[in-house]
């Protein structure tokens, strides 16, 4: 009996020690997470804050003002022609590249999922190369193609769109293919057994189930396009085709004003709005489903 009581006491002691060490481990992880968030987000918040500075300084606070957005009649984002043109061109690139990339990526993912053989395997490897090749190498190759080869593409909007679509195509392919592996083929086969044509089964059964991955791809591609620097810089033409990333890089070497902070803050706002709108659309499309399937993990195609 004494031995049994001793073993129980030893077990309780080990359990308490395990919980104590586990709590310490969770505390360390929580501390590392907080430090990482502060390290990564605090400079962004400071940059956004000084976009509302009333003075020209980007280090000394002089009061809240919107002059660098639209108040200053010469140097604000709204009235400075170069900054305004860069903002409009960036949003145009984001919309056009996204509208081309996502449908192509979905179609390519469906084709690679159903096509068997060495050729589709090679195509799959080619798609994955976008994650391996340095972006500078891809940009130089695209620059050579646009400026040397006889193509309808030119430096500027057309060349930038072609380069961005080439670079971003892998994102929807990988997201949609991972979603296809999760779904399987039995839903589509059941629809065909019930009389639907293969095209109707894809359109009415498979594509709605791919909605989370398609929406996530759209948001990811748009946010990455408006933030791209290397490809759009190599493929820019004149000043009218310089997006915000290139404009900020070129202007930061001179005597920059908080208008550059305002321009970057507007790009940050556009990315956040893209995420919020995509998630709102997903919630609307799945409003009749169970609440458990409408979280952010389902929106990103993980379930």
Spatial neighbors of 165 by CB under 8 A, at least 6 apart, are 97, 100, 101, 104
Question: Position of tokens 């999922």?
Answer: 113
pLDDT at 102: 93
Whether residue 53 is contained in a domain is answered as no
pLDDT for 299 equals 54
Examine the domain organization and report whether 268 and 167 are in the same domain: yes
Pair (116, 198) in one structural domain: yes
pLDDT reported for residue 292: 46
Do 113 and 227 have their domain in common? yes
Q: Is 195 left (phi over 0), alpha (psi -120 to 50) or beta?
A: left
For residue 56, tell me if it sits in a domain: no
**DSSP code, position 129:** G
CA angle 95–101–102, rounded 5-degree value: 95
**Predicted pLDDT at 9:** 54
Same domain (yes/no): 291, 204: yes
Residues 6+ apart with CB under 8 A from 45: none
Residue 253 belongs to domain spanning: 80-299
pLDDT of residue 95: 93
20 lies in the same domain as 133 = no
Same structural domain, 291 and 191: yes
Q: Is residue 160 domain-shared with residue 29, that is, in the same domain? A: no
For residue 28, give both structure tokens: 């360390």
Q: d(Cα 31, Cα 303) in Å, to the nearest integer?
A: 29
Q: What is the DSSP letter of 255?
A: -
* pLDDT, averaged in runs of 10, over the chain (303 residues): 53 53 68 85 85 81 84 82 88 92 90 74 73 82 82 83 88 86 76 76 79 86 88 85 86 79 88 85 67 52 50
pLDDT for the residue 100:
94
What one-character DSSP code corresponds to residue 56? S
Of the candidates 71, 88, 45, 43, the residue with the CA atom closest to the CA atom of residue 257: 71
Give the pLDDT confidence score for residue 8 in this predicted structure. Answer: 44
């Amino acid at each position: 009996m004494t031995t049994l009581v001793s073993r129980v006491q030893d077990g309780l002691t080990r359990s308490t020690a395990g919980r104590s060490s586990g709590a310490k481990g969770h505390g360390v992880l929580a501390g590392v997470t907080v430090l990482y968030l502060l390290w990564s987000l605090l400079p962004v918040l400071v940059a956004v804050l000084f976009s509302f500075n009333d003075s020209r300084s980007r280090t000394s606070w002089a009061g809240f003002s919107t002059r660098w957005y639209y108040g200053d009649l010469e140097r604000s984002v709204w009235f400075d022609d170069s900054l305004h043109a860069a903002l409009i061109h960036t949003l145009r690139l984001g919309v056009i590249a996204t509208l081309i990339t996502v449908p192509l990526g979905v179609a390519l993912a469906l084709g690679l999922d159903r096509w068997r053989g060495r050729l589709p395997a090679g195509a799959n490897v080619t798609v994955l190369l976008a994650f391996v090749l340095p972006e500078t190498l891809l940009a130089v190759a695209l620059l050579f193609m646009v400026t040397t080869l006889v193509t309808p593409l030119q430096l500027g909007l057309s060349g930038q769109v072609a380069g961005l679509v080439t670079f971003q195509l892998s994102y929807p392919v990988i997201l949609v293919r991972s979603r296809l592996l999760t779904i399987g083929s039995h839903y589509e086969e059941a629809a065909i057994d019930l009389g639907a044509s293969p095209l109707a089964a894809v359109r009415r059964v498979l594509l709605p189930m791919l909605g989370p991955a398609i929406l996530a791809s759209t948001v990811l591609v748009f946010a990455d396009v408006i933030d791209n620097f290397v490809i759009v810089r190599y493929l820019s033409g004149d000043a009218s085709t310089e997006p915000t990333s290139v404009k900020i890089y070129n202007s930061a070497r001179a005597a920059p004003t908080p208008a550059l902070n305002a321009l970057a803050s507007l790009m940050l706002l556009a990315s956040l709005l893209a995420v919020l709108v995509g998630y709102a659309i997903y919630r609307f499309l799945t409003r009749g489903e169970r609440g458990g399937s409408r979280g952010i993990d389902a929106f990103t195609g993980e379930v």
